[in-house]
Structure 1
Amino acid sequence: MNSETPPLLEYLEKKGITLEDLVNTALELFVPHPGLETEAKATEMLREEFLDALSDVNVSTLEVACFRAQEDAENGLIPGLSKERFMGRPGLVADELLGLAIANYIAGVKGIFEFTRFDQAKPGILKKLGPLTNDAIGGLVAGVSSNVYTRAFRNPK
């Protein structure tokens, strides 16, 4: 991987989300596994995996779409979805579906399982984000976290 900052990371930084926020959010639900026994090793592997995912144009497209949808919903621009209903919940499931799609794209079914953990706990940066963006970032964190655990299982060192 080159040392260039992925464009999606630059986009997220403009939204107030850093690579450290992403890593720390994943670490809040860290469970030691064979090949991934320490938080230091997890941090290293998470950083690598985040940089890889953040370099994927499809992840970029999905994430930006969610952030744009969040802005549109907050401004009452999504047909049939008032600002009050958007912020009031329950009833909206599109946010969950988008988060699941991101986790699934990055890590498959294992990512979906991990998304459920992150969506229920809302660790780290997730609790500070809106309904659509917390699931978008939750899907990213879940997919990356799942890939890290899978990689560690395959290559225990």
Structure 2
Amino acid sequence: MNDSPINNSKNLLLKGLEKYGINLEDMVDTAMELCISENKEDVRLKLKEIMLRKLEDPNLLILMICALKLEEEGIKGNLPFNYHEDPNYIYIDEVIGMAIANEISGTKGIFNFRWYDAKKPGVIGILDKKGCVFLDDAVAGFIAGCMSKVFE
């Protein structure tokens, strides 16, 4: 096993997501729920390849790990707002989701993020219903950004 900082961070992120019941296949399935294409199997294969490649990007990993750690701190009550109420004056979760989408595919990713965030398919909706303030938007940003890359 390669103990590079990238692999360590990727493993930290993937293990952290697994605690919330999310894996890579779930994210691919979620992305495909809003896919409009005649070649869905080709899209699915390309999407998974892009997701795996993007999980090697240190900037993306840092953003995703930040969302994961913020979720953990919110659950513990260590954030400067009532995490369990998810107040509407807190919008940094949306900013994180848009930053992730933007890091992957620029403005197209941000617009696609808004679509996934509004529709809340698959694991995004599950995380939202569980009250995950940060991870639903981070995962939506990751999925939206990667899906936007598929069609470039």
* TM-score interval, normalised by the smaller of the two chains: 0.7 to 0.9
Q: Does 1:52 align with 2:53?
A: yes
What is the DSSP-based 3-state SS (H/G/I as helix, E as strand, rest coil) of the residue aligned with 1:131? coil
Percent identical residues = 37
Amino acid of the structure 2 residue aligned with 1:141: I
Equivalenced residues, count: 139
Q: Indicate how the Cα distance of structure 1 residues 10 and 83 shifts in structure 2: closer, same or farther if over 3 A, else same.
A: closer
Worse-matched range after superposition: 11-20 or 97-106 = 11-20
Unaligned runs of 5+ in 2: 1-6
Provide the TM-score with structure 1 as the length reference: 0.82
Output the CA distance in 1 between the equivalents of 2:146 and 2:84.
Answer: 33
| Residue matched to 1:24 | 29
Amino acid of the structure 1 residue aligned with 2:147: S
Instruction: Tell me if structure 2 keeps the 8 A contact 1:74–1:83.
Output: yes
| Residue matched to 2:82 | 82
Report the alpha carbon displacement of residue 84 of structure 1 after superposing the two structures with TM. 4.1
Provide the TM-score with structure 2 as the length reference: 0.84
Report the alpha carbon displacement of residue 26 of structure 1 after superposing the two structures with TM. 0.4
| Residue matched to 2:18 | 13
Report the alpha carbon displacement of residue 11 of structure 1 after superposing the two structures with TM. 4.2
Q: Indicate how the Cα distance of structure 1 residues 75 and 10 shifts in structure 2: closer, same or farther if over 3 A, else same.
A: closer
Report the alpha carbon displacement of residue 82 of structure 1 after superposing the two structures with TM. 1.9
Output the CA distance in 2 between the equivalents of 1:111 and 1:148.
Answer: 11
Amino acid of the structure 1 residue aligned with 2:114: T
Q: Indicate how the Cα distance of structure 1 residues 44 and 84 shifts in structure 2: closer, same or farther if over 3 A, else same.
A: closer
Report Cα offsets for 1:51-110 as digits up to 9, x if no partner.
01111111111111101111111221012x023433xx3222111001000000110001
Amino acid of the structure 2 residue aligned with 1:13: E
Output the CA distance in 1 between the equivalents of 2:52 and 2:83.
Answer: 34
Structure (1 or 2) with the larger CA radius of gyration:
1
Q: Output aligned runs, 1:93-132, within 5 Å.
A: 93-129=91-127, 130-132=132-134
The CA RMSD measured in Å over matched residues stands at 1.6
| Residue matched to 2:39 | 38
